[in-house]
A and B are shown apart, each in its own frame.
Chain A
Amino acid sequence: MDCDEVRVQISALMDDNQEVQVKDIHDHLGSCSSCSEFYEGKLKVTEWLKEAENFQLEPPPGIWERIDSEITPKPKTSGKKPAPPSKK
């Protein structure tokens, strides 16, 4: 395999492509510093992407409070106990 072919294969490898000739890549990397560098770079990018994939933010707690205040049925004010004591 020449350098171009190896690089295509390396990219496929990073995308979890099953049909990659791992041994051929390995052999080539042993004797080609430029492709080794390319491989290291790709590896880092893949690791970074994995790292970012697992990152999640927690939603701020205030969201539910605001939703709840809109959807919870308000207690009826007309009824037995009109709360506010206007006269003592």
Chain B
Amino acid sequence: MSAEISQSEIEGTVKRVQQGSVEDFHKLYDLFSKPIYNFIWRLIGSTQDAEDLTQETFLKVHREIKNVRQPGQFKFWLYRVARNEVYQKLRRSKKASEILVDSTTIDYFDFLPHHSPDIDPEKRALHQELNKIISQTLQAMAPKYRDVFVLAVFHKMSYEDITQIVDRSLLSVKTDIYRARVTVKEALNQYLKIGDRRQAIGEGRD
């Protein structure tokens, strides 16, 4: 559960972690574990990998936080660490180059068997379907589109903030988000058309 806390409180917490406070590190974990877990999950498409990499990210952060010179920039640094962990994993498994775009051949997507039990079944099914399409589309995208799209759309980050994480120019970030958005919309559109066609065929049979 992450309560909202101010930027100066985050800075104070980071400084205390730098001095060795485990309690304050727990505070940082409570604040950022959910966004980081979801960020990683969106990038990598698997909840199991997201779990492992979230753990790796926070362990690395704990090891290296003493080197952070500007505690006010902690959030950006944290996302950078998480992003690096993901891309290292992708490189190791060569997953990035092995992704198949054809949706019928992608069955690696594992989806919330036990999460979010309070969602009603219809909405749950819609979420499941939507996230499946989006995940497949994201996995098929070049990483440079994927990360900026996820940060902008799912984390509601400003383009300026995204440049701090991905270390690219504002123009490049803007263009890449636009291209990624078009790709995702196309995929959803395509799905919608297939759905309509299936429905029409179904209705025709009745």
Contacts and interface: CB of A to CB of B under 8 A. Distances in A.
Interface bracket on B? 20 to 34
Interface string B168-202: 00000000000001001100110011000000000
Looking at chain B's contact residues, the main secondary structure is helix
A52 B34 contact: no
Given A48-B130, A51-B126, A71 B34 contact: no
Contact of B29 (A48, A49, A58, A64): A64
Contacts of B127: 51-52, 55
A42, A57, A62, A64: residue with the most chain B Cβ atoms closer than 10 Å: A57
B183 to A, nearest CB: 12
Contact of A57 (B37, B153, B184): B37
B55 interface: yes
Contacts of B59: 67, 70-71
Contacts of B79: none
B22 A71 contact: yes
**Dominant SS among interface residues on chain A:** helix
A57 B189 contact: no
Interface string B84-128: 000000000000000000000000000010011000000000110
A23 interface: no
Contact of A15 (B62, B126, B181): B181
A40 to B, nearest CB: 10
A42 B185 CA distance: 9
- The 7 tightest CB contacts between A and B, nearest first, are A59-B37, A45-B188, A52-B130, A56-B38, A59-B33, A63-B55, A71-B62
22 contacts: A41-B193, A42-B189, A45-B189, A48-B126, A51-B127, A52-B127, A56-B34, A56-B38, A57-B37, A57-B115, A57-B116, A58-B116, A59-B37, A63-B37, A63-B58, A64-B26, A64-B33, A67-B55, A68-B22, A70-B59, A72-B22, A73-B22
Given A52-B131, A68-B26, 13 more contacts: A15-B181, A45-B188, A49-B184, A51-B127, A52-B134, A53-B153, A56-B154, A58-B34, A59-B33, A59-B51, A62-B51, A72-B22, A73-B22
